[in-house]
Amino acid sequence: MCSIIGFCDRRAQYEVVKTALLKTLSRGPDSTRIIDTGNGYLGFNRLSIMGLNEAGMQPFGLDGSWVVCNGEIYGFRAMKKRLITEGYTFKSDSDCEILLPLYEEYGTDMFRMLDAEYALIIYDAETESYIAARDPFGIRPLYYGTTEDGIMTFASEPKNLVGLCHEIKPFPPGHYYKDGKFVCYHDVSKVNKYNCTDDMDTISSHIHDLLIKGVEKRLDADAPVGFLLSGGLDSSLVCAISAKLLNKPIETYAIGMDIDAIDLKYAREVADFIGSNHHEIIIDRNDVINAIEPVIAALGTYDITTVRASIGMYLICKAIHEQSQVRVLLTGEISDELFGYKYTDFAPSAEEFQKEAEKRVRELHMYDVLRADRCISVNSLEARVPFGDLDFVDYVMHIDPEKKLNKYNKGKYLLRHAFEKDHILPEDILMREKAAFSDAVGHSLKDDIAEYAESKYTDSEFAEKCAKYTHATPFTKESLLFREIFEKYYPGQSEMVVDFWMPNKTWPGCDVKDPSARVLSNYGDSGK
């Protein structure tokens, strides 16, 4: 994980740019560099993952143009070979060094060619202008705003721009910015036609093969790789596939509360089955309460479910950074959005299921993807998300939603069925209904936070303080606590997140007042 910044005007001041960039030093603690393009500044904090020597340090330059990129460009070696035949030379083994030659050859069409998780800023010396772009899911973060002096700025995190820009906005995923306009080059949520002719065997085969390819390409790193293992379906599949591909023990990590961790035993079962070097992180109530403020400061959100789920992820990543040499983590995000949550069992029709999936995919960058990025990067690690593989997602989104509805008495049945024949996981793990991550770390985690928030406000104080917020108005003492901490670090920037993540309240059985799946009538054995 790295951080990038761009102040796109010759009026920009070096010291201002430097101060802003250093606010995200944890994203790239290995080295920092800022260059004067002659028409503004580009800056980079590096976490060395590919091409570990000094030659891989950004910004990269070519013919007076410059680029900074926080990203992983999959399949870059084949693209690099092709560019060499076109006469380009390279100084490093970094995947991102190919970006300026690609831009020189293809212009903004290059963004459609990238199989990547990335955010980048290019200074085009020929036109004396800036181009910025972000991957289709927004797995890598990018924000923008205009300073009081009218200088357009881009940065990896909103904290880089706090105090400099009146309004900070998330850069829209799947878009590039050029000549003052945002252009969509890839909308992953857009579905034109379902692959209705595919039968279950064909669907299973494609899901199986595409996910394996998605995992395989994300194992390519020059720095040590580790794996978050909750014991649920998604992370367990990523770990099992990786162990089989690498054919050696992988490093797996699980976290749980000291009194009621649900998933630790399941994670241990998976680790034993795949033969990983397994590590457990045990936390208690004090760890949870003490993490609330630093987590919200890192996240830049007040969303209830995002903050809750981030507590465990933040603490496990902190331990990994402090106790190991691992610098890359594979995670299981972006499966629920594709195959369904517990609440999508209540979808009244296949059409409604599909609409909800498209909405969740469009908003990923504000919720689960944001959580994974910040919790991992603030601890100087890099996140990789196999379920976010573009080919995999494109196929799953185009499966007839009638087949994705839970008609099988088992959530995410298509994904489970795809790996039944492989026997890479115990049957009880493959078919287990997973608890929500924050609940699975321990039911007491959510309860401890709620009790702590309850002690912070009287009922009258709660009503008075909530009334101050017209956007995403807090509706519980917990949500008010999160919002007040958010405003301390990101004053007036609540619209970076559209609203609270909640089940679709228009559906029968989903009109709930808490985002936890524990409040749904179909939660059943998920939390056991």
**Which phi and psi angles does 212 have, rounded to 5°?**
-60, -45
With beta carbons less than 8 A apart as the criterion, state whether 169 and 144 touch: yes
Angle between helices 368-377 and 285-299 (to 10 degrees): 100
Give me the DSSP letters along 200-220: HHHHHHHHHHHHHHHHHHTT-
- Residue 160 CA to residue 173 CA, distance in Å, equals 19
* Residue 353 CA to its chain's centroid (Å): 22
Cα-based angle 275, 276, 279 (whole degrees, multiple of 5) = 135
Burial 202-216 (b: 16+ CB within 10 A, else e): ebbebbbebbbbbbb
- Residue 414 CA to residue 391 CA, distance in Å, equals 17
Residue 256 has which token pair? Answer: 């749980």
Upper half-sphere CA count for residue 466 (Cβ side, 13 Å):
16
Contacts of residue 97, Cβ cutoff 8 Å, sequence gap at least 6: 51, 56, 60, 80, 90, 91
Burial 436-468 (b: 16+ CB within 10 A, else e): bbbbbbbbbbbebbbebbeeebeeeebeebbee
Give me the DSSP letters along 121-177: EEEETTTTEEEEEE-TT--S--EEEEBTT--EEEESSGGGTTTTBSS-EEPPTTEEE
Out of 2, 69, 239, 375, the active site residue is 2
The 3-state DSSP class for residue 343 equals: helix
> What sections of 304-442 are H helices per DSSP?
304-323, 336-339, 350-363, 368-377, 390-397, 401-404, 413-418, 427-430, 437-441
User: Is 2 among the catalytic positions?
Assistant: yes
Which residues are designated catalytic?
2
